[in-house]
Amino acid sequence: MQIILCDSEEQVGRRAADLIEARVRQGPAVLGLATGGSPAATYAELIRRHREEGLGFGAVTAFTLDEYAGLPAHHPQSYHSTIRREFTDHVDLPPRRLHTPHGDAEDLAAEAVRYDASIEQAGGIDVQLLGLGANGHIGFNEPTSSLRSRTRVKTLSGATRAANSRFFEGDGEEVPKLCLTQGLGTICESRQAVLVALGEAKASAVQAMVEGPVSAFCPGSVLQLHPRAAVVLDPAAAGRLTLLEYYREAQALQDDLQ
């Protein structure tokens, strides 16, 4: 795991955008996209680079990590609408190449299998952008998710529904109880993973993910098994790490090499 310590949310956005840009500039790329607050600065930076520096997404295919069950794509809080509003509608990514699980599918289990297969058919994900739940989830793989799970239907925890109620006018009851999410096994097949975390509320989960044991109880810890995972943190999210000095030193040496 590469730990990238940043001074601010904006710098987190720039460092994560650097990793994504490096792959996008190499040619046709498949990106995995997270929604929520954590990647907002990354998307803002990618949009800026598209507008001001000619970073093109015309050869990009994108797959979101997850979707609420029961919400049609056009619902304002569906992750399909969210990712379009916050990122893809502002760059030249062809809409037909934006994939999200169909949360309103009649057979959700079959939809999950179809979605997992469609990632494979696209050649797999080159760079998977991730956020981290305060309970350690990545995607919507809540604590106790199988470390080898595939895309499937999951039950959202009360903590996640409470955290996401801010997108539903503060009403936790409006947050769907079920979702479709890429599995931990699916996420670990990405060729590169970039996790961004911000704020003190994530500090315990970051510490468990980076320095704790690999455990289904902290699903993000599965990234310890990922061959190429970067964790990009603001000072508050990094606040409980015990080896901060080592990460700083390693980062300085890495930066010198580039």
Nearer to ligand F6R among residue 67 and residue 126 (C-beta): 67
Stretch 78-117: interaction string toward ligand F6R, x if CB under 6 A: ----------------------------------------
Residue with the CB atom nearest ligand F6R in the bound state: 131
CA quadruple 161, 65, 136, 110: dihedral sign: positive
Q: Is 219 in the site for ligand F6R (CB under 6 A)?
A: no
Residue 3 Cβ vs ligand F6R, minimum distance, rounded to whole Å: 18
Of the candidates 135, 189, 226, 234, the residue annotated as catalytic is 135
Residue 166 Cβ vs ligand F6R, minimum distance, rounded to whole Å: 8
Three-state SS sequence of the chain? CEEEECCCHHHHHHHHHHHHHHHHCCCCEEEEECCCCCCHHHHHHHHHHHHHHCCCCCCEEEEECEEECCCCCCCCCCHHHHHHHHCHHHCCCCHHHEECCCCCCCCHHHHHHHHHHHHHHCCCCCEEEECCCCCCCECCECCCCCCCCCCEEEECCHHHHHHHHHHHCCCHHHCCCEEEECCHHHHHCCCEEEEEECCHHHHHHHHHHHHCCCECCEHHHHHHHCCCEEEEECCCCCCCCCCHHHHHHHHHHHHHHC
Nearer to ligand F6R among residue 196 and residue 245 (C-beta): 196
- Cα–Cα distance measured from residue 241 to residue 210, given in angstroms and rounded to the nearest whole number: 8
Q: Is 37 in the site for ligand F6R (CB under 6 A)?
A: yes
Annotated catalytic residue 66: yes
Q: Is 24 in the site for ligand F6R (CB under 6 A)?
A: no
Nearer to ligand F6R among residue 133 and residue 183 (C-beta): 133
Is 143:136 a contact under the CB 8 Å cutoff?
yes
Q: How many residues bind ligand F6R (CB under 6 A)?
A: 14
Q: Is 35 in the site for ligand F6R (CB under 6 A)?
A: yes
Residue 183 Cβ vs ligand F6R, minimum distance, rounded to whole Å: 12
Among 3, 55, 65, 125, binds ligand F6R (CB under 6 A): 65
Stretch 119-158: interaction string toward ligand F6R, x if CB under 6 A: ------------xxx---xxxx------------------
Binding site for ligand F6R (CB under 6 A): 34-38, 65-66, 131-133, 137-140
- Which residues participate in catalysis according to the annotation? 66, 135, 137, 142
